Structures are given as structure tokens and as C-alpha cells.
Structure 1
Amino acid sequence: MMPTAVAVRATVHTPARAGWFTQAGQVLRRWLTVSVRQAWGPVMSLIQPVIWIVLFGQVFRSLGMLPQFAPSAGPGAGSYVDYLVPGILMMTVLYSGAWAGTGYIDDIASGVMDQYLTSPIRRSAIITGQLAQQLVINLAQSLVVLGIGWIAGARYPGGIGGMLASLGVATLLATVFCCCSSAVALTTRNQIALISLSQLIVLPATFLSTTMMPASLMPEWVQNVSRWNPMTWAVEVGRGGLTGAFPDAAWWQVGGLAVLAALAFTWAVRSLRSYQRSV
């Protein structure tokens, strides 16, 4: 009698892949843990707005006596502190966002980035998780700015809705510069290059805008540049939210920031994929 051969089909169980939101959440959790363990960085970044409001508020206090700051001058007019706080709000997220890429350079040097790229995690989730951590810090900074501004004498006639609008546009601005900083870091992979490029961009972006003074007090060529400066868009919409009187160009300014944020995010994701192909 011939033995009966029994065929046994081996079943291979492929582990389920986590969803995109779970992946991004895990990356966010990792970056938040890093922030807690290295709390001196976020704490120092929360102190900066206090220095800026006190310093600039005192140095440029006499500007508040100019006709451009009279209540009859239009939206955003009033005391100089009222005018300054929205500018410092956007200035804070701008400077913080410009340094966002340093975390990727540290990950590249420590080998953490290689572990990311060899794991089944979507590249956009890596960028989103780190971006979300930066936005959490920026939100905390923004709340500190509004609180210190209130203590310094600024008032927000726009109410809670206006404050939320200002925080929203600050988040858009932060997204633009966080993603651009990440893209530069992943492209150059050099701390010095990132710092140099950041300083080259953030200072002109700040002083060629209406962060500290109205456009009417600037030279004509600065007015022309500031009109197309994303920093000006964010400052004017944020100032409109806090005062309760948005500028006529608010919708296209917000739309422009949203488009820039989407383009910057795409650039960051592509830079990460380009980095992966080069290693």
C-alpha cells in the first residue's frame, strides 16, 4: 500500500501595517518625548517673546504718538503695544519655525533617520509627526505672547474669535517655515548651512514687513516688497483678528499662506525621499 502524501499549505501571516494617522502619531509622540527630556529649549523659546515685547515695546514706544497710530487711522491703530503684539506673535513662530530642521540633522548624525527609512512608515507621516510637534510648541509660544501682551497693556477687541483667527494664521506661517527649514536640513545635512540660510531669510522677512511699523512709514521700495511678503500677510490678518477689523485683502492673504504651506510641505516630503535615495 502506497503511503498517502498529505500536502500541508503553509500560511504566512503578514503583520498588519499601521495606518497613516497612527504612524504620524507615533512620530509626534517621539518628538514630544524629546522635547520633554530637553525642556530647556522650549522653555527658552517661551522666554524670548517676553524679551521682545518688553524691549521693542519700550524702544519704539514713542511711535504710538504718530498720527498713524491714532484710533481714527483705521484697523489696527491704537497704542503701539496693541500694534506690536500681533507682529511679535508672527515673529516668534517665524524664528521658531526656521530652526525646525535642526532635529533632522541630529537624527541623521545619530542614525535615527536610517531607522526611520528602513521601517515601513510613510515618508509624509515622518514629516507630519515632526511638524505637529513644532506646531504644538508654536501654539504655546503664541499663547504666551498674547498673555504677556495683555499684561503689557494690549487689548484684543476681536474677542475669542479674533484670537483664534490670529492663532490659526500663525499656525499657517509656522507650517511654511517649519517645512522649509526641514527641507533645507534634509538637503544640506549641515547645521551651519541651515543656520546661515535661516538668518539670511528671517531677518529680511521681519524688517521688510509691517511687523513693527505701518507701511506708510516705510520707504516706497520697502512698501512694495512688504506687500508680497508672507510675513506681512500673516501680521495683517493676525492684527485684524485681534482688533476685530480684518484688512480688505485678508482672504487672499490667508489663501496665499495656505498655498505656501502646501508647497512647503510637499518640498519637505520630497527632500526626505531624495535623502533616502542618496544614502
Structure 2
Amino acid sequence: MPSFEEKLIRAIRTKREAEGLSIRALSAAIGVSFSTLARIERGEGLPDNNSKIRLMEWLGPEAEDAGLGFDKVAFVHFRAGKNVRSSTVRTLLKAAECLRHTLATGAHWTGQQDVDDNASPPSASLSKEELEQAAEKFRADLGLSQNEPIDSLRIEVDGVKVVPIGKTNCLDAQTVKQLRGIAGGEWSAMTIPLDADNENWVVLLNDGHTIERQRVTLLEEYWHILLGHKLTKIARIAEAYGRTYDRTEEHDAYYLASAVLLPRAAMADAVRKNRPSDEIARSFGTSSELVDYRIKRLGLWREHIGKQIKLARD
């Protein structure tokens, strides 16, 4: 009997060829890399669970016709590593269900929905200047100057409640210890809608991370909400969990979080003054890695590291 993966690969190839799509065109449509899809179709590798979800959503009704299926589990914003273990996902989903039950305002709403309800076209990334302007307006709305640091853990957003993992009653002490410790490197935050209209949210924050990491993580979750990004779909396939992932939306949310914490004008001034990354990081309450990311994204890295250029003489 063909395995799940063999049936999936066969169904994908059949539909792709019937619709006259190249592997590259399918890659662009579903967000799985061309090289990964090519290897899968050649039988040189198997899709991971995250890719399986994307492929099965693209198959639509053809998935069931091919004897394929997956359990619809939850729709959330999920800040976690690509290869997060299923045991960690199960625990976080348990916490999400509890938080919904405790905080949700919509009667009988579970946070689950049909795939079609969450479907939307691929995201269009904001331009660099649009991202910078959005971050500057955000800081202006908070009454901050361009040289003033901000502790994002003190920001309040209407309709959003922040619950550190250590302050929830939804998990026992041993589980919290595990999510902060052994599993702590696998996830940063999970943002859960509390009503069907996505007007009220709760952010479950990993407070086992450094305060600097928590600041950028929380801001990133705020931006997912404020930009109206699609919810991540988490589903169980063959006893393991996978999730959808929108690279464009993740990029924009992270970029905006870094731009709010490390404003453009202040970074340019720091580079002009030859301030090292760790010194800038201390001034703004971030990690030096975030400072380096910000300077590179602003195109100031050469100046920051002092790399000289010149024309060779004849």
C-alpha cells in the first residue's frame, strides 16, 4: 500500500501537470522552495510537515480524493522555530485552548475555522521606506523622540492582553519549567485570537528568554496584529504537527519590531560616531545581534565596520 507521502507526491504531480504548472510556478504559488519541490517529485526526499500542510491546502478537494487528510487544530500567530517538536506544540495548544476558555468573549467560539475561511492571496511586502515610516509613526504615537529607548514590554495595545508563560494558570509548574527550559529555544510567543472577528487577542510570551529577546518578540506579535496578517495554521499529520508560514509577513513584522526599538535616525547617528554594536544595544535595551541586523538593513554596515574603499592607481 502506498505511504501517505507517496500518495501526496502522486496527487501533487497529477494536479500540477493537469493545470499546466511548472514546478517553479507551483513553488511561487504555495511558498515551498523550488529545490525542495523538485527533490520531492524526483523521489529524493520527503516533505516535512510544514510543507505537507501547504501542499494539501493547494490540493484542496483532490487531497480527500487521494485518500489524504489532516486534523484541523488551531489558527494562531506562532513565533517558533521551523522544527519545533510536536510535544512542544501540543503543550502550547493546550495553553491556547485554556486561555480562550478563560478570556474569550465570543460565545462557543473555539478558535478553529475551516481552511477556506483563512484563505487569502500571498502577501505583498511593504517597501523599505513604508516600513520605516510605519515604525516612525508608531514611535511618534507613543510620544517618543528618535533617540529615546522604549521598553516594549510596557506598551499597551487595545484589545491585546499579554500573559507571560510564568503567570498563566493554564499550565502546571512542571510544564512551565519545561517550556522555559528544555523547550525554551523552540518558541518565543503565541498570539491567540479570542473572538471570531479577530478584535481581541492574548499573547502567550516566553518569559524564560532574555528581556532583550522578549522586547523584540512582543513587538513582532503586536505588528502581526496591527498589520492584519493571516493566522498561522497548525495541524496534525500522521501524529506530528506542522504549520503554515508566510515569509513576507514574518519579514515585515520583524523589520518593524527592530525599527521601533532602534530608530533609523539614531542608528545613522551612532554609525557616524563610530559607536560599537554592544554600546548601542545597551543604550536601547536590545541585543547587539539586533543592532547588527538593523544597521545591515539600513545599508550602513560598511561604514559601521570601517571598511575603506578606493580606486587603484595605474
Q: Which has the higher strand share?
A: 2
Q: What TM-score comes out, normalization by structure 1 length? A: 0.30
Indicate the structure (1 or 2) with the bigger Cα radius of gyration. 1
